[in-house]
Amino acid sequence: MRSIEQVIARVEQRQEELIHLTKTLIQFETPSPPARNTKEAQEFIANFLRTLDFAIDQWDVYPNDPNVVGLLKGTDAKLHNSLIINGHVDVAEIDEQEQWATSPFQPTIQDGHLIGRGAADMKGGLAASLFAIQLLKEANLELAGDLIFQSVIGEEVGEAGTLACTQRGYTADFAVVVDTSDLHIQGQGGVITGWVTIKSPTTHHDATRRSMIHAGGGLHGASAIEKMMKMIAGLQDLERHWAVMKSYPGFPAGSSTINPAVIEGGRHPAFIADECRLWITVHFYPDETHEQVAEEVEMHLRKVAESDSWLRDNPPIFEWGGTSMIEDKGEIFPSLEIDPEAPGVQLLSRCHESQLNIPAIVDYSPTVTDGGWLGDAGIQTVIYGPGDLQNAHAVNEKVRIEQLVDFTKVMIRFIYEWCNTPKNGLSDTPTLQNIKYQ
């Protein structure tokens, strides 16, 4: 049995294995959209975990897009901390017009960076976490608490493979989402998309327009497109109000935004538009919920409608969220507040500082991850992973190899120390006895 220090020292000695594992994951072509392409990558991860004595739970969230969850039972799980390591295996889509130096799925090394789609977001984090666990197992360093590894699908298009894990009953005392954070320990704001629809109860020929807009015309009709302009103006007013009235430490002013992203309306030039739909994206702060901000938007637009003689009788219709940008054109990413004093955050900070000899940065991501779903399930969660947002989704996406190595070292120490730390009293965490493993 090696000491934890000896195990950490082996990361640099075996760096080529870490690089090879990351390259292997990148070579699985899992862009989303189009999605429905992660089965082979997930089977590779499942088999990798099996060699490390994990029990495997694998199920389809969508056809050809399965989740994989591995459970390594602790030697004294009832009395010691459990840990979830979570990451998504899907990567950002590739546009045919993008000018990559080489094929996005044929990773290369250049100037100390590993280049390929998913290198930063987030197959680097997945590979390094798997390698950290491998080195712990090879050294026969036992974990007293349960270790749960979640490789999920769908994060890039809001399909929330992580939500499916929580609905299946997976929980732990702490969770680390190993997504792109540049080795910052992070929480996040949230995102919800929604559709605002203006619909006329009647349809009119465009020749009747003069009767609608001139005094004494006698026709109580309107263009849904023109009335949607009032809704957009109302959203702009609400966004400005939020910029003045809302704030959260660590976020620039005005981070709570409402983006009118897509508009659809009308049927033919010979008709007055009888329906118009607006697709919006709302970003909100970590101390807000998606239900709360959706209600605020609805209340404001209903007041705007009350001031208009036609909209008063034909108020806007709202549809919020969704389970997939592909399947139903909608998504939700719950926010995630982070408590710097939480035991898991404190320990991860100490592991980072002691291993890398630099202070840990605890802050908030300007983007969103699946971490909010774990937090929503009552699990203390942070985002902590290699790669930076300048490279996530970018052409010639890359991650620094040095950062992959550093992340692996920190995770080895953190996994070992957290899972061998006694719980504060007996745990109320439900057991996973009803889940069938393969």
User: Catalytic site residues?
Assistant: 90, 155
Q: Which residue type sits at 75?
A: T
DSSP secondary structure, 284-335, as one string: E-TT--HHHHHHHHHHHHHHHHHTSTTTTTS--EEEE--SBTTTSSB-EE--
Q: Which residue type sits at 338?
A: I
Q: Which residue type sits at 339?
A: D
Name, in order, each residue with C-beta under 8 angstroms of 61's C-beta and a sequence gap of 6 or more: 67, 152, 153, 154, 159, 161, 164
Helix (H, G, I), strand (E, B) or coil at 217: coil
Which residue from 246, 273, 272, 276 is spatially nearest to 260, judged by alpha carbons?
276
| Cα–Cα distance list, 181 to 122, 302, 392, 435 (Å) | 10, 39, 10, 32
Name, in order, each residue with C-beta under 8 angstroms of 235's C-beta and a sequence gap of 6 or more: 258, 260, 280, 297, 300, 301
C-beta of residue 296 within 8 angstroms of C-beta of residue 233 = no
Which residue from 279, 274, 303 is spatially nearest to 198, judged by alpha carbons?
274
Q: Which helix (H) or strand (E) holds 224?
A: helix 224-245
Residue 341's Cβ-count burial label (10 Å; 0-12, 13-18, 19+) is: exposed
CA atoms within 13 A on the CB side of 228: 25
Which residue from 57, 120, 131 is spatially nearest to 88, judged by alpha carbons?
120
Angstrom distance (rounded) from CA 52 to CA 149: 11
- Integer-rounded Cα radius of gyration of the chain: 25
DSSP 8-state class, residue 156 = G
Angstrom distance (rounded) from CA 239 to CA 152: 34
